[in-house]
Structure 1
Amino acid sequence: MSDAIGSLDFCKRLDLPKISDPRGNLTFVEGGRHVEFDIRRVYYLYDVPGGAERGGHAHKDLHQFIIAMSGSFDVVLDDGTKKARYHLNRSYTGLYVCPMIWRELDNFSSGSVCMVLASNRYSEDDYYRDYGQFMKAQGL
Structure 2
Amino acid sequence: MGYVNDVNVLQFKQNGDQRGHLVVVEGNKDIPFSIARIFYIYGSDREVVRGCHANRRSEFVLINVSGTSKVKVMDGKAEKVIVLDKPHMGVYLPEMVWKEMYDFSEDSVLLCIASEVYDPSEYIRDYAEYLKEIGMKDE
Matched ranges for 1:96-115 at <5 A: 96-115=92-111
Partner Cα distance (2:67, 2:27) in 1: 24
8 Å contact kept, 1:44–1:113: yes
Aligned to 1:37: 33
Aligned to 2:112: 116
Aligned CA RMSD, in angstroms, stands at 0.8
**SS of residue paired to 2:27:** coil
Please report how far the alpha carbon of residue 137 of structure 1 lies from its aligned counterpart in structure 2 after TM superposition: 0.9
8 Å contact kept, 1:14–1:95: yes
Please report how far the alpha carbon of residue 98 of structure 1 lies from its aligned counterpart in structure 2 after TM superposition: 0.2
Identity of aligned residues (%): 32
8 Å contact kept, 2:53–2:126: yes
8 Å contact kept, 2:45–2:103: no
Partner Cα distance (1:104, 1:50) in 2: 13
8 Å contact kept, 2:15–2:23: yes
Partner Cα distance (1:62, 1:135) in 2: 18
Deviation >2 Å, runs of 4+: none
Amino acid at match of 1:15: Q
- TM-score, normalized by length of structure 1? 0.95
**SS of residue paired to 2:87:** coil
Gaps of 5+ in 1: none
8 Å contact kept, 1:6–1:138: no
Gaps of 5+ in 2: none
Given the alignment of the two structures, is residue 88 of structure 1 paired with residue 87 of structure 2, yes or no? no
- TM-score, normalized by length of structure 2? 0.95
Given the alignment of the two structures, is residue 131 of structure 1 paired with residue 116 of structure 2, yes or no? no
Partner Cα distance (1:75, 1:135) in 2: 19
Given the alignment of the two structures, is residue 56 of structure 1 paired with residue 52 of structure 2, yes or no? yes
Partner Cα distance (2:14, 2:47) in 1: 31
Q: How many residues get paired?
A: 136
Given the alignment of the two structures, is residue 6 of structure 1 paired with residue 2 of structure 2, yes or no? yes
**SS of residue paired to 2:20:** coil
Partner Cα distance (2:42, 2:3) in 1: 28
Segment of structure 1 superposing worse, 37-46 or 16-25: 16-25
8 Å contact kept, 2:66–2:109: yes
Partner Cα distance (1:116, 1:50) in 2: 18
